[in-house]
Amino acid sequence: MLLLLALLTAAPALAQEPAAGDTLEVLPDDHPLRPQPPPGVGPGPLAFLGRILFAPFRMADVALKGTTVVIEEEAGGFAAGLSDRPDAPQEASHLGFRAGSIGTRSGFVGGGFTYELFPGAGGPTAGISAAVTNRLYQEYSAFAGWNDPDVAPWLRVTGYYDVDHMDEFFGIGPDTDEEEDESGFSWERWGGVAAAGLPEGWIVNGEVHAAYERSFFYETYDDNQRNTIEHFVALPGVDLPQQELWSPGATVRLDLRNSAGHPTRGLMLQGSGAIWRSVDDELPFDWTQYGGRIQAHLPLGSDWHIISVGGGFETVEPEDDDSIIPFAYLPDLGGSSRLRGYPSWRWSDQAVGWATAEYRYRIWEEHTWRATPGVLEAALFADAGDLAPEVGDLDTEDLKTSYGLEVRMFLKDNALFRLGVAYSDEGTRVNLSTGGFW
């Protein structure tokens, strides 16, 4: 009898537990199983705003993998937003991309789509993506492989065609002027990449690739703008014909973060390198590219308050004195990932170094029985960087700096968008990216 009474008393509570096959249900704010924010951090108006922002993205997650972007300053950000993996890492090289996406560095209004033929984590994968913008930017790609790169060891072959129109190029070196040196150019390229790797969820992971690319630079689409080709690449005896290149490369990481897409604690170290060689022996487009990155995240008592720091360097070295590195392949600073107060390609040289520090505050999060699908956070940040002809010449004497504020939305630790305002010596910029930052 006592056992029967105990079971009858516990029945209402047991009925609230979800079955294994039940769909996720949002827990009430006062539910004892719902994780609560630290003392002093309550729902309020910002939580209501977060719920409104989260709803359309939750619906979009099960609809077409498309997007519309107003301002974009991150290489690969647009195409990453169109792909099924918006948390794709930064490109170790121009050819080191995943998920059949490349990307643009032009600000634009545009849209596109992606389609995966075999959705799922294991087995064969294949798909296509396409994008177009008001500046005549176009990107088309197709990929096929084995396994989802986010969860299992993977293999992927990607083919692409890309036309980009860049109207903010300022030259090479630290002494360029924003107003006097601004110019534009167009860049057409196509090629293919065969890559294999281990997923980022593993402590030690990375990828290797072998690639082929053919690219060509030509005049800016804006007849009223100065042409980059005429003003910055007038090298003796070189008119930058079509470049036909091949490139093997690799990236390796030691990843101790709790999440690759939205880390709140842990450390990550990464090194990457690639060899670029001209297919035509008569054209001296030969160089080596390598770099490194580090990031660390420390919660201040809880995941609602995070201190994050990161930095890295990238350099290209000519094979010999006669070798030429086309200007668009040089490392750069600026955009929504490096020196956010400057436009993309604001600073370019053979070596760049950068660092950033952030205080991140979680404005709102939504909980379910088994996961935290939605997070809205704000971040105060400060960036610094330097550039030089050689990596050994990088120093802290004349740093380029910027600072500002960003708001970010995540869905199941995948970055949906970042919107921020950044300030620098050259003014104020608004950055919107559909990709992640860390």
What is the CATH number for 385? 2.40.160.50
The yes-or-no verdict on residue 25 having pLDDT over 70 is no
Are 307 and 300 contacting, i.e. CB atoms less than 8 angstroms apart?
Answer: yes
**Most confident stretch, 222-231, 236-245, 268-277, 408-417:** 268-277
The yes-or-no verdict on residue 11 having pLDDT over 80 is no
Q: What is the DSSP string of 167-192?
A: EEE--SSTT--TTTS-EEEEEEEEEE
28 part of a folded domain: no
The yes-or-no verdict on residue 23 having pLDDT over 60 is no
Whole-number Å distance between alpha carbons of 138 and 274: 26
What ranges in 17-62 are assigned the alpha helix state H? 44-61
**pLDDT-based confidence at 109, cuts 50/70/90?**
low
**pLDDT value at position 195?**
92
**pLDDT-based confidence at 96, cuts 50/70/90?**
very low
Looking up tokens 């550039």 gives: 387
26 part of a folded domain: no
221 part of a folded domain: yes
Whole-number Å distance between alpha carbons of 295 and 292: 11
Q: Which residues of 174-199 are buried (b: 16+ CB within 10 A; e: fewer)?
A: eebeeeebbbbbbbbbbbbbebbbbb
Task: Report the percent of the chain where pLDDT is more than 70.
Answer: 69
Read off the amino acid at residue 40: G
Residue 44: phi and psi, rounded to 5, are 70, -170
Q: Is 372 exposed, middle or buried, given 0-12, 13-18 or 19+ CB atoms closer than 10 A? A: middle
The yes-or-no verdict on residue 307 having pLDDT over 70 is yes
**Most confident stretch, 58-62, 82-86, 274-278, 280-284:** 274-278
30 part of a folded domain: no
Residue 214 CB contacts under 8 Å (≥ 6 apart), including other chains:
189, 190, 191, 242, 243, 244, 245
Distance, C-alpha 425 to centroid of its chain: 25
| Average pLDDT across the chain, whole number | 76
Looking up tokens 């799922």 gives: 120
Read off the amino acid at residue 164: D
**Most confident stretch, 27-31, 59-63, 311-315, 415-419:** 311-315
16 part of a folded domain: no
**Most confident stretch, 90-104, 212-226, 324-338, 352-366:** 352-366
Looking up tokens 């660390």 gives: 296
Tokens found for residue 130: 């396409």
Read off the amino acid at residue 158: T
Domain that holds residue 134: 37-433
**pLDDT value at position 97?**
29
404 part of a folded domain: yes
Cα–Cα distances (Å) from 1 to 5, 8, 96, 311, 321, in that order, read: 6, 11, 68, 67, 93
The yes-or-no verdict on residue 210 having pLDDT over 60 is yes
Looking up tokens 């249900």 gives: 25
The yes-or-no verdict on residue 80 having pLDDT over 50 is no
More confident call, 107 vs 228? 228
357 part of a folded domain: yes
Whole-number Å distance between alpha carbons of 281 and 213: 15
Are 358 and 308 contacting, i.e. CB atoms less than 8 angstroms apart?
Answer: yes
**pLDDT value at position 415?**
83
What ranges in 181-285 are assigned the alpha helix state H? 228-232
Whole-number Å distance between alpha carbons of 158 and 428: 37
438 part of a folded domain: no
Whole-number Å distance between alpha carbons of 302 and 154: 34
The yes-or-no verdict on residue 224 having pLDDT over 80 is no
Mean pLDDT of 295-304: 94
Looking up tokens 């100065």 gives: 226
Give residue-wise pLDDT tens across range 118-135. Answer: 877 789 989 888 777 766
Q: Which residues of 89-98 are buried (b: 16+ CB within 10 A; e: fewer)?
A: bbbbbbbbbb
Task: Report the percent of the chain where pLDDT is more than 90.
Answer: 36
The yes-or-no verdict on residue 60 having pLDDT over 50 is no
**pLDDT value at position 75?**
39
3-state secondary structure of 66: coil
Q: Point out the least confidently predicted range of 33-42, 145-154, 161-170.
A: 33-42
**pLDDT-based confidence at 233, cuts 50/70/90?**
low
Residue 37: phi and psi, rounded to 5, are -70, 160
Domains of the chain: total = 1
